Structure 1
Amino acid sequence: MYGNYQTTFLNLKLIIYLTNQVKEKMKKYLSLCLLVATVILFQSYTAAKKSAKVLVFSKTKGFRHTSIETGKEVIQKLGTEHHFEVDTTENADAFTEDNLKKYATVIFLNTTGDVLDDKQQVAFERYIQAGGGYVGIHAATDTEYDWPWYGKLAGAYFISHPAVQEARFIVKDKKHPATKFLTDSIWMRKDELYNFKNINPDIKVLINLDEKSYTGGKNGDFHPFAWYHNFDGGRAFYTCMGHTKEGWADDKFQKHLWGGIEYAIGGQKKLDYSKAHSKF
């Protein structure tokens, strides 16, 4: 009888031991599952953050800025820092409806002259009308003078500039991503200071030039230098900064440009070509 009790007691201890072992293994298994799930969710989140893609277009048919290559490098750096992909091209054949659909924003980086043919122009118009984004940098306003739609999208056309010099930039709007990081209403910066014609009255001015702070200004008290607006279904941002290589290294300028790109990306909404009305 005693032997049977002893055997039962030992079996019970064994069962308790095995049960505890199973519990420990289950805890480890559940912890491992939780870790794997966390990694998968993090990777999914990271992939989503990287899903925005922009096209940097830098074809020139007029003056060519030596800072273009530096500009490409900085935009690629911003892409790495802020989780968007960057393609660069000087080939206007990229302006087809099928190709432009890949991009949340198209950046005109110091383009000059007549860079797109008629069919490519229509493809770009349709892209904007479908909800695409546009970022113009510096000489983007020295581009496509015979395409009035583009002039309205960019917001103005270049007419002249004085020598590169420092000027007082007056910040008019601190709520926009391109200016919200600025702590002061005055930004002193050295750059090539464009004068403009055909300024679109619908642009929302972010930065205005104080012509009293330098020589050669021709626009008077209203001299916009960076702006944004909704245009023909899409989002457009322009900054006149970006002439010199040295200027691209400026941390404030990089934050300014990223804010403009962020605005133009616009939450990565899917393009809706049913809203496009330009015809090939």
Structure 2
Amino acid sequence: MKSILRSSIALVAAAVLGAGLFAASAPMVAAGNGNGNGNGKPATADQIYLDEVKDYGVCRGTAAACYHDWGNGWEEGEEKRILIWSRTGGPRHAHLGTPLAPGLNPPLNADNVAQANLKAWAEERGIAVDYTEDLAAFSRLNKYQAVVFLSPTRDSLDDSAQTALMQYVRGGGGFVGIHNAFGTEYHWEWYEGLLGGTNFYDHAPNRPGTVEVVNKKDVSTEFMPETWAFTDEWYNLHPYPSYVNVLLEVDKKTSLNGRANGHPGHGENHPVSWCQYYDGGRAWVTTLGHAVEDWTEAETENDDLFQNHVMEGLESAMGIKPFCSV
């Protein structure tokens, strides 16, 4: 069953600052309330908070009116440049390898395969790449058209870096979250909204599944067959993503067979990739990319689709290609 959010075109007005809530009578214009109704009727703030969907005090959704063209997106003639962030404050995925040395662009170790290969994929497309696990890099974000969170964990940022990321996104910057980008900054609500209003909850063991293409209009999916096989951890998330353009989901059979720690997963609708405008910026995210082999030259089933999905999503978040088509 394709996602109930596949046509969730939402323009969400910014919340009143300070209290962070709308008045009960103030409508939020949306195709649905993000929690399964999908009836096209406006939802009041009271209704949204009753069904656990937050507004995060920002403009968010799939309408470009939520974007701020304030200089952080790519423009013709500019150098294309991204920053890859992979600092971990807790468990570390094998595809990241050993922690990086301080500074910008330290020598990569042989086991830093995700950083090395994402860098190589980007450079093949003419995109310059910086990579780091040094918090000092967040003082210079405005030279990048996208910041890529590549499987960071737990408290990856300090207060200054959080502020810098918010200012960068609000200026029209691109954000790309890959795999365990959903397992970091748990206590920062603004970041939860950047991910689509959700966080990592749990997952079953790495296992084969069938990816279903929900939206073939987007540049990150238009080249894909309707379904394709892939192996991953198939993250269960909570709450369910809201006001986003779902691009891919894993099929019902894989999802329902993937219960972990007593959590039932997302049932028939289990999104794995989506995009949205958020607080002035562009956010493209995917839970895919667990296996080390996804990030190496080793051939695994449909790893080319995964690679192109990530790179097309990255270029769209940068502003090089159309973003979040519905």
Matched, 1:57 2:85: yes
Could you say which residue in structure 2 is the equivalent of 1:169? 211
Structure 2: how far apart are the matches of 1:219 and 1:188? 19
Which of 150, 153, 156 aligns to 1:109? It is: 150
| Bigger mean CA deviation after superposition, 138-147 or 258-267 | 258-267
What is the TM-score normalised by the length of structure 2? 0.64
Q: Deviations over 1:140-182 (max 9, x none)?
A: 0001011000011022200000010001111001111111111
Amino acid at match of 2:251: D
Partner secondary structure for residue 95 of structure 1 = helix
Structure with the bigger percentage of helix: 1
Matched, 1:129 2:182: no
Partner secondary structure for residue 124 of structure 1 = helix
Structure 1: how far apart are the matches of 2:84 and 2:180? 14
Q: Does structure 2 conserve the Cα–Cα contact (< 8 Å) formed by 1:160 and 1:194?
A: yes
Partner secondary structure for residue 134 of structure 1 = strand
Structure 1: how far apart are the matches of 2:280 and 2:241? 16
Q: Deviations over 1:4-40 (max 9, x none)?
A: xxxxxxxxxxxxxxxxxxxxxxxxxxxxxxxxxxxxx
Structure 1: how far apart are the matches of 2:310 and 2:291? 15
Structure 2: how far apart are the matches of 1:49 and 1:161? 43
Q: CA deviation at 1:127?
A: 0.4
Structure 2: how far apart are the matches of 1:209 and 1:50? 37
Could you say which residue in structure 2 is the equivalent of 1:149? 190
Partner secondary structure for residue 253 of structure 2 = helix
Structure 2: how far apart are the matches of 1:267 and 1:164? 33
Structure 1: how far apart are the matches of 2:147 and 2:240? 21
Q: Does structure 1 conserve the Cα–Cα contact (< 8 Å) formed by 2:252 and 2:269?
A: no
Structure 1: how far apart are the matches of 2:305 and 2:214? 16
Relative to 1, partners in 2 of residues 1:121 and 1:221: Cα closer, same or farther, differing over 3 Å?
same
Percent of aligned pairs sharing the same letter: 38
What is the TM-score normalised by the length of structure 1? 0.75
Structure 2: how far apart are the matches of 1:259 and 1:247? 16
Q: Counterparts in 2 of 1:222-241, with a 5 A limit?
A: 222-241=269-288
Structure 2: how far apart are the matches of 1:72 and 1:120? 20
Could you say which residue in structure 2 is the equivalent of 1:92? 135
Amino acid at match of 1:54: I
Instruction: Give the 4+ runs in structure 1 shifted more than 6 A.
Output: none
Structure 2: how far apart are the matches of 1:252 and 1:245? 16
Q: Does structure 2 conserve the Cα–Cα contact (< 8 Å) formed by 1:176 and 1:259?
A: no
Could you say which residue in structure 2 is the equivalent of 1:66? 94
Amino acid at match of 2:312: G
Structure 1: how far apart are the matches of 2:122 and 2:249? 28
Structure 1: how far apart are the matches of 2:291 and 2:285? 17
Kindly tell me the number of residue pairs found equivalent between the two proteins: 218
Structure 2: how far apart are the matches of 1:203 and 1:213? 22
Partner secondary structure for residue 177 of structure 2 = strand
Amino acid at match of 1:157: N
Q: CA deviation at 1:123?
A: 1.1
Amino acid at match of 1:246: E
Matched, 1:180 2:233: no
Could you say which residue in structure 1 is the equivalent of 2:53? none
Q: CA deviation at 1:185?
A: 0.9
Partner secondary structure for residue 140 of structure 1 = helix
| Bigger mean CA deviation after superposition, 63-72 or 53-62 | 63-72
Q: CA deviation at 1:200?
A: 3.5
Q: CA deviation at 1:49?
A: 6.9
Amino acid at match of 1:255: N
Which protein is bigger by CA-based radius of gyration? 1
Structure 2: how far apart are the matches of 1:133 and 1:240? 17
Q: Deviations over 1:36-60 (max 9, x none)?
A: xxxxxxxxxxxx7781100000000
Partner secondary structure for residue 194 of structure 2 = helix
Q: Does structure 2 conserve the Cα–Cα contact (< 8 Å) formed by 1:190 and 1:247?
A: no
Q: Does structure 2 conserve the Cα–Cα contact (< 8 Å) formed by 1:57 and 1:106?
A: yes
Alpha-carbon RMSD across the aligned residues, in angstroms, is: 1.6
Partner secondary structure for residue 164 of structure 2 = helix
Q: Does structure 2 conserve the Cα–Cα contact (< 8 Å) formed by 1:152 and 1:200?
A: no
